[in-house]
Structure 1
Amino acid sequence: MNMKISHTALAATLALLLGGCMVGPDYHRPQVPVSTQYKPLPGWSEAAPAAEAPKGDWWTVFNDPLLNQLEPMVAVSNQTVRQSYANYQEALAEVQVARSALFPTIGVTGSATKQRTAKSSSTSGNFRPISTSGSLEGNVSWAPDLWGKVRRTLEENKATAQASQATLANATLSEQVALATAVIELRVNDADTDLLQKTVDEYKEYLRVVSNQGVAGTTPPSDVILARTQLESAQSSLIALGVARAQYVHAIAVLVGKNPEDLDIAHSTGLPALPTVPVGVPSSLLQRRPDIAVAERQMAAQNAAIGVAVAAYYPNITLSAADGFSQSPLAGLLHLANHVWSLGANVDETVFDFGQRHGEVAAAKAAYDASVANYRNSVLTGFQNVEDDLSGLSILSQQAQVQDALVHDATQGAQIAFNEYQAGTVDYTTAATAQATQLSAQQSALSVQQQRLLDTVSLIGDLGGGWSADELDDSKKTASAR
């Protein structure tokens, strides 16, 4: 009867303890100032939002077969991404460890002992017969979370795991952007190679004409030398492009997790398409940029850490119970007469620590304040990145129009100058200068196109790619995506 009453009292006590409070502040995301729109620039307007596009495989908007082939490999084979994925899995395991502290620890203990003892001096013989004793006992130990320390720790670890998940997304996006950048630079290198090869062919023809006129005595030897050095300079620049191309290919190989010598990329004759990217409203960055999500989740974790530190002011209570059998000799161990049980409780409280707990709470609050500043700075930096990209695209769009006109005029001017040279109305220096101007204008136009493509990739990355904060804490989706 007494044991039944004790079990009932224990159940009631456990129910009461389960309803314990949580010390420390509850988390609320701090407000940050957000503009209603990005700053418009004269003569250029943003594309209208299209359901927060691009999403998912954002690189397909460039219509480049190499990008479409290699980008999916980043999430699987890139070593930086694999490292972040392992860190995320570690953080998930820490959540499991923290959650286990909410529940009792249950164990089973069994023992068996053979012993032989000496008889007393008044008894004949030296030893008693060998006896065997044993016990089988189940035990339960539980520290109820009265003040919410375990729950705050769990809250902290879950936020840390979500930050690791967002870090994984950010690493994936960063490496994908790096791959797109490398592919664009490779494509521009190939386009520059084609341009220089065409220039070399033209300069060879110019040298042939000048050499023939030199043999005929209608042009001075200095013109022949000038035409030859012009050709050799172009040939040297053409050869130098091979070094940069090899480095781009090697970088691309590493980004997709391959050895540099294992990847060959054929020469391309075209550049990726220049897409129009909808940017949405500034507030969408708070949900779409994984680096901002990292800062926000770190802020939540630091807030929970304050509660963990505050809980150290309160006593720790541990409940224990044991139930089993004990018998000597061992025979009949499981008989009801050998049943034993026990209930216990332990209270642990620090009386004086000379400011240790106060210091830990102050440190946790300071760490939280630092995380708030880091979050707000991440948001401001995100806005800056997007504004930089939009400004660059706007200005480069205007520059491209002027540069195209310059290329047209420089090409026409070079042809006229060479015709005039052949007619004997100008010297070859004038024609060579016009040809150099044409090549410079063509390379500048190519550089502007390259920068427009790079700024577009940067804009997509700064908008968060196809990621959304709604994906946080969805480990199944993360695993399936990999």
Structure 2
Amino acid sequence: MTNHLSFFGAGAVLSITIGLSGCQIPSSDLAKPTAPTPAHYQHASSKNGKRQAKSDQWWLAFGDSRLNSLMSQVRDSNRDLRGGMKRVEQARALVISTRSGRIPQVSSSSSALRNGISGEVVRSTAGKTDGYTRNLYSLPVSVDWELDLFGRIRKGEAAAQADVQAAEEDYLALRLSLETQAATSYFTLRALDSEIAIVREGVVSRKASLKLANDRRELGVVSELDVAQAQALLASSEADLAALLRERAAQEASLAVLVGKPASNFSVAARRLTGRPPSIPAGLPSELARSRPDIRRVERLLAAENARVGVAVAAFYPSISLNGNVGVQASDISDMFTKGARYWGIGPSVYLPIFTGGQNKANLQRSKARYEEVLELYQQTVLESLAEVETALSAVKHYRRQVSAQSRVVTASNEARNIAKAQYEGGTVNYLNVLDAERTALNGEREQARLKGAEYINAVQLIRALGGRW
């Protein structure tokens, strides 16, 4: 009778379990996040037409073979990027760990025990008065399987999977950031090469001016003042050249770190920056959320927090498991695998959170607050992204105008320098006029080189702001 009642009790629990499997917990899915986006970019020009996502090797648009090589090295050898991939692998491993809760867990814990039984225990059970010593060998296999009726494990797995996707997007955002840092450093180097070449040409020109001043002094045409002024101008150019070379060495060392090489074994041959950067189509603001990995990352974090709200909701409901064990047990190891040594057991277990001191409610509130926090982060990321695009687009227009004006400055100042030299040699002006004209012309050419570098760097920043696909 007892056996029938026990079986009936187990069957009742199983019936309840099957009945509960049809129950649905209240939905914990939250509304998909949205962020206000304008219809068009304010500073987009007519050239910033429809954008088409193509290769993520965006640097190919610059048509620079040395830059192409450096970008490949960043992807292959940058240490921060390698570390980012390891974080992705950690997240992927966590998904496997979480998913394992959906399948039965099998374990075994064999034991060998020797113990002494007291006489009182023997007397109460067998009517004898003498105790004895016995061995007990056990080899069980246990199976535990939680029936995920209310989605706790399923939601946990969804959260872990969203975390993986967020880690993958974080890796892509890191890669884009490192690539644009390397490209910025590279174009800074090229702009410095242009400026260094200009200053070197100025040094040669000022050495010639110093020789001319010395020759005219020996002829008694000018005084020592002209010679001293020419010497000062030459020394100033030589000091500027040393400063530029020092800055170039620092940029080269920074670039070496980005490509994963020791600075002592890395160099970039000098070459002046020529041409113009490519025209970058901006597309529409509505495309930005799909293009930028940092926005996609936060969107995936939102999905993860949404799923964790579901985990917190599931904690209010029963946890139902099926437990079983089978094994052999004997007092003599030679009898371990005989028919009489076998034993088994099976039955369900139900955990019902009747009173938890407010823990489950607090966990749910925390999960919802975390979701709302990440939602704010999402909207802030979108706003910052739009601002970055607008800033870069505005800079494109203003740099174009600035470069055009600076070209006129260079043309006029070079003409003024030539006139001043001719007048000085003709004796109609003093050397101070030549000094001012040379200084203005040299500064104008240097500023032109810096502006060209800034144009290229801004093109890189615009590509990064748009998500890096070209």
Please confirm whether the aligned pair reaches a TM-score higher than 0.5, indicating the same fold. yes
Report 1:57-456 matches (<5 A): 57-111=57-111, 134-271=137-274, 274-331=277-334, 333-456=336-459
Distance 1:432 1:61 in 2: 42
Q: Measured at CA, do residues 132 and 369 of structure 1 come closer, stay the same or move farther in structure 2, by a change above 3 Å?
A: closer
Shift of 1:39: 1.6
Distance 2:32 2:131 in 1: 76
Distance 2:340 2:14 in 1: 25
Q: Secondary structure at the match of 2:147?
A: coil
CA deviation digits over 1:328-352, x for unaligned, max 9? 4444544444432212333333433
Distance 2:101 2:438 in 1: 78
Distance 2:85 2:206 in 1: 54
What are structure 2's unaligned runs of at least 5 residues?
124-129
Contact 1:52 1:278 survives alignment (8 Å): no
Instruction: Say what the alpha-carbon RMSD is for the aligned residues.
Output: 3.0
One-letter identity of the residue aligned with 1:84: G
Shift of 1:225: 1.3
Contact 2:13 2:348 survives alignment (8 Å): no
Shift of 1:211: 1.7
Distance 1:160 1:37 in 2: 32
Q: Secondary structure at the match of 1:325?
A: strand
Distance 2:416 2:225 in 1: 22
Q: Secondary structure at the match of 2:102?
A: coil
Distance 1:174 1:18 in 2: 48
Contact 2:191 2:272 survives alignment (8 Å): no
Contact 2:43 2:390 survives alignment (8 Å): no
CA deviation digits over 1:97-154, x for unaligned, max 9? 1111111111234445678989999xxxx999x9865444332112222221111211
Distance 2:275 2:260 in 1: 23
Shift of 1:466: 2.5
Q: Measured at CA, do residues 238 and 219 of structure 1 come closer, stay the same or move farther in structure 2, by a change above 3 Å?
A: same
Distance 1:48 1:181 in 2: 25
Contact 1:52 1:280 survives alignment (8 Å): no
Shift of 1:52: 2.7
Shift of 1:241: 1.2
Distance 1:81 1:57 in 2: 16
Structure 1 residue aligned with 2:47: 46
Q: How many positions carry a matched residue from both structures?
A: 459
Q: Which moved more, 1:2-11 or 1:269-278?
A: 2-11
Distance 2:359 2:80 in 1: 39
Structure 1 residue aligned with 2:126: none
Distance 1:31 1:211 in 2: 74
Q: Measured at CA, do residues 69 and 207 of structure 1 come closer, stay the same or move farther in structure 2, by a change above 3 Å?
A: same
Q: Secondary structure at the match of 2:95?
A: helix
Q: Measured at CA, do residues 362 and 132 of structure 1 come closer, stay the same or move farther in structure 2, by a change above 3 Å?
A: closer
Q: Measured at CA, do residues 66 and 320 of structure 1 come closer, stay the same or move farther in structure 2, by a change above 3 Å?
A: same
Q: 1:33 aligns with which of 33, 36, 39?
A: 36
Structure 1 residue aligned with 2:127: none
Contact 1:98 1:157 survives alignment (8 Å): yes
Contact 2:329 2:341 survives alignment (8 Å): yes
Structure 2 residue aligned with 1:478: none
Q: Measured at CA, do residues 383 and 267 of structure 1 come closer, stay the same or move farther in structure 2, by a change above 3 Å?
A: same
What are structure 1's unaligned runs of at least 5 residues?
468-482
Shift of 1:35: 2.1
Distance 1:262 1:18 in 2: 66
Distance 1:58 1:171 in 2: 15
Q: Secondary structure at the match of 1:324?
A: strand
Contact 2:116 2:134 survives alignment (8 Å): yes
Q: Measured at CA, do residues 206 and 38 of structure 1 come closer, stay the same or move farther in structure 2, by a change above 3 Å?
A: same
Q: Measured at CA, do residues 224 and 19 of structure 1 come closer, stay the same or move farther in structure 2, by a change above 3 Å?
A: farther
Contact 1:417 1:434 survives alignment (8 Å): yes
One-letter identity of the residue aligned with 1:425: T
Structure 2 residue aligned with 1:474: none
Shift of 1:50: 5.2
Distance 2:360 2:115 in 1: 51
CA deviation digits over 1:316-372, x for unaligned, max 9? 233201123334444454444443221233333343333332222212111111111
Q: Measured at CA, do residues 271 and 325 of structure 1 come closer, stay the same or move farther in structure 2, by a change above 3 Å?
A: same
TM-score, structure 2 normalization: 0.89
Distance 1:278 1:438 in 2: 35
Shift of 1:301: 1.4
Q: Secondary structure at the match of 1:25?
A: coil
Distance 1:275 1:309 in 2: 51
Contact 2:14 2:348 survives alignment (8 Å): no
One-letter identity of the residue aligned with 1:172: R
One-letter identity of the residue aligned with 1:72: S
CA deviation digits over 1:376-429, x for unaligned, max 9? 110111111001000001111111111111111111111011111111121111
Q: Secondary structure at the match of 1:415?
A: helix
Distance 2:328 2:384 in 1: 67
Contact 2:180 2:461 survives alignment (8 Å): yes
Q: Secondary structure at the match of 1:322?
A: strand
Contact 1:23 1:148 survives alignment (8 Å): no
Contact 2:273 2:452 survives alignment (8 Å): no
Q: Measured at CA, do residues 271 and 14 of structure 1 come closer, stay the same or move farther in structure 2, by a change above 3 Å?
A: farther
Q: Secondary structure at the match of 2:343?
A: strand
